[in-house]
Structure 1
Amino acid sequence: MTSLLALSRAIDSANTFIGKAISWLLLAAILISAINAVTRKAFSLSSNAWLEAQWYLFSAVFLIAAAYTLLGNEHVKVDLVYGKLPRKAQLWIDILGTIFFLMPFCLITVYLSWPVFLQKFASGEVSNNTGGLLQWPAWILIPIGFALLALQGVSELIKRIAILRGDMPDPVADADAAAAAL
């Protein structure tokens, strides 16, 4: 289990670095949006490439940072039942959900999107919009994002099993105990 926890820490570190780095693309998207709006309104100048660049940047943040969001346990959940269950049941729900839902979804998405990316890359396909951008940069984001999400799923799976086995402390239980002490 020690080597698996080391792998989990490496995945967590990589996704933390990638998530924080990629988040700067939001600033770039905002700046491009603002400059594009000003030049369009003030000078009647605009380009579909700028609009598509905003879309690409936002897509990059959304797809690539999904793993970082999972690491922070910030994905949307329905807590009506989950939150009322004992911690051990929550851990089992996380494990089963990762194995039977997250991992198959990620792997199927990578499997199906990779050939589309390769085809767009080989053909050099460009957007149908006048002045549009190449399409392959947007399509490579899909398999990369879902591969990172699958890796983070592996890390979360390792951590949940380690918590159940008593090989590591439960950060959620520790946080709950600290909050109750206040």
Structure 2
Amino acid sequence: MQALLGISRGIDAMNRWVGRIAAWAIVIAILVSALNAIVRKVIGTSSNAWLELQWYLFGAVFMLCAAWTLIENEHIRIDIVANRFSRKVRNWIDVIGHVFFLGGFCAVLIYTSIPFFLNSYASSEVSTNAGGLIIWPAKLAILVGFILLALQAVSELIKRIAIMRGVLPDPGIGGHHDIEGEVERLLSIQKESAVGIPADADSGGAPAPTSPRSRP
């Protein structure tokens, strides 16, 4: 199990590294967008290449950061039903989900993305828009993104099995993704807001000062 956990740590480290680098594409996309807008307003000219570059950068962030997002458990999850189950059942749900749903989804997309990219690369496919960019880098990002996501699914599966076997602690217990704890905290805040805090609570029991107009 320790050997598998070592592989999992390696996958996690790689996807974190890729994600942190790819995230900078957002900054580049913002600069490209701002520069394109300035040039269009000042000089009165623009190019489809600038617009497509923004799309490529956004797509690269979306695809190359997906695995990193999975590591941090920040993908949207609908846990209304799952939270009613025990942690053991939820662990099994995660295992089945990673194997059959996430793993299967990635397998299909990788299988279809390989010829999708190779055909584009072999033909030097270019955008049909005037002044557009070559397309194969964007298709390559799709392929690489799903490969990284599939590897991360393997890593998450290893960690989940280790948690079920007691080798690793369950990060959901007391962690920032503990839904039950978060709900309890929000209900506590709501209850305090409904009850309210006495006006003299912060002043050590002294009565609140009155305005000059309210004095006799």
Q: Which letter maps to 2:146?
A: F
| TM-fit CA distance, 1:38 | 1.4
* CA deviations over 1:62-107 (Å, ceiling 9, x no partner): 0111000111101111111123322211111110001110001101
Q: Distance in 1 between matches of 2:25 and 2:84?
A: 38
Provide TM-score, normalisation by structure 2.
Answer: 0.80
| TM-fit CA distance, 1:174 | 4.1
Q: Distance in 2 between matches of 1:110 and 1:158?
A: 21
Q: Which letter maps to 1:115?
A: P
Q: Is the 8 A contact 1:87 1:173 kept in 2?
A: no
Q: What is the percentage of aligned positions where both structures have the same residue?
A: 53
Q: Distance in 2 between matches of 1:113 and 1:104?
A: 14
Q: Distance in 2 between matches of 1:155 and 1:174?
A: 22
3-state SS of 2:173 partner:
helix
Q: Distance in 1 between matches of 2:110 and 2:181?
A: 40
Give ranges in structure 1 of 5+ residues lacking alignment: none
Q: Distance in 2 between matches of 1:77 and 1:13?
A: 23
Provide TM-score, normalisation by structure 1.
Answer: 0.94
Q: Which letter maps to 2:155?
A: S
Q: Distance in 2 between matches of 1:106 and 1:70?
A: 13
1:18 — aligned with what? 18
Give ranges in structure 2 of 5+ residues lacking alignment: 185-216
The Cα RMSD (Å) is 1.6
| TM-fit CA distance, 1:42 | 2.1
* Residue 148, structure 1, aligned to residue 148, structure 2: yes
Higher helix share: 1
* CA deviations over 1:105-146 (Å, ceiling 9, x no partner): 101101101111111101111100011000100000111000
* Residue 66, structure 1, aligned to residue 66, structure 2: yes
Q: Which letter maps to 2:8?
A: S
2:92 — aligned with what? 92
Q: Which letter maps to 2:137?
A: P
Q: Distance in 1 between matches of 2:147 and 2:40?
A: 38
2:128 — aligned with what? 128
Q: Distance in 1 between matches of 2:41 and 2:90?
A: 52
